[in-house]
Structure 1
Amino acid sequence: MNYDLSWMLDSALEVPEARHAILVSADGLLMARSNEVGKDHADTIAAAMSGMQSLSRTVADFCDGPSTRMLWRQTLVEFDGGWVFLISAGEGAYLAVSASPEVDMAEITFRMQQLVGQLGKALTSPPRENADAK
């Protein structure tokens, strides 16, 4: 399955101060990128986001101890120049969005959750057949 989901990722960038978005497979491969992200840069960021998710999941017991099974939900990283949000986008996929320091965090996370719902439908829907092609 090879869909172009870039247009869907661009919808996350309608939030003021959102910058870039990528869809990453669990093994670190780039699945889709917003239009403003170059392919080589997106490939590098995809690998890093996969590693970041893995590290985040590994330290979950730091929240409540090793006897409790904590599930990873989101990783949020703050830099002087902005934020990186990383959330699950379904089985074996993650959505990463970068934003400026002024982004409305509630709005961007809400939009990302909406986008995950749309991506889930797109990734699990079979391709349409062209009736005229038969």
Structure 2
Amino acid sequence: MTSSTSRPVIEDPSWVLNPITEISKEVRHALILSSDGMVIGASEGLLRDTAEGISAMTAALHGAARAAANAALDAPDGSPVTTVTVQNAYGTYMIMPAGVRTNTFIAVSGGPDMPMGTVAHIMARQAKKLGEQLMSVPARAQGGSAS
């Protein structure tokens, strides 16, 4: 199966992203992306080119974090990582999977005063809702309709 056969389609991502971006003025933007770095949805105001670059780098970051954590923790290679958080002087960037087996993530960036606990809680709630939605809708079939 190629990634194009399993990539979900979310016509309006605002139902997932708005509850996260509206938490605090410190939340800069949010993305829904596939594990191969393709943008599935982006918060309002995030330019498409910027979102695509961030999504590609986020997929690489998540994969590297999973490999490093599994090696450091002596975990099996396929062990999932639930959250990756990166902080620097300019703020915080968090990545969280949207359910199990969806190959979809939510990523959020915010300023240094972003309320991380609150944002992580809402992200987890929205990720769960998104994962449930994605698992209830069959993936697009390649080359035509599924029978």
Provide TM-score, normalisation by structure 1.
0.84
For the residue of structure 2 that corresponds to 1:110, the secondary structure is: helix
Does 1:3 pair with 2:14? no
The 5 Å alignment of 1:38-49 reads: 38-49=47-58
Gaps of 5+ in 1: 128-134
For the residue of structure 2 that corresponds to 1:72, the secondary structure is: coil
Q: Distance in 1 between matches of 2:9 and 2:120?
A: 26
Q: By how many angstroms is 1:119 displaced?
A: 1.0
* Higher radius of gyration, 1 or 2: 1
2:80 to 57, 71, 76: 71
Q: Return the letter of the residue paired with 2:110.
A: A
1:116 equivalent in structure 2:
127
Q: By how many angstroms is 1:60 displaced?
A: 1.1
Q: Distance in 2 between matches of 1:32 and 1:4?
A: 8
User: Any conservation in 2 of the 1:6–1:35 contact (CA below 8 Å)?
Assistant: no
Q: Deviations over 1:19-52 (max 9, x none)?
A: 1000110111111101121111001111011000
Q: By how many angstroms is 1:126 displaced?
A: 4.2
1:21 to 30, 34, 38: 30
Provide TM-score, normalisation by structure 2.
0.77
For the residue of structure 1 that corresponds to 2:112, the secondary structure is: coil
2:92 to 83, 102, 118: 83
User: Any conservation in 2 of the 1:30–1:46 contact (CA below 8 Å)?
Assistant: yes
Q: Return the letter of the residue paired with 1:103.
A: M
**Sequence identity (%):** 25
Gaps of 5+ in 2: 1-7, 139-147
Does 1:99 pair with 2:99? no
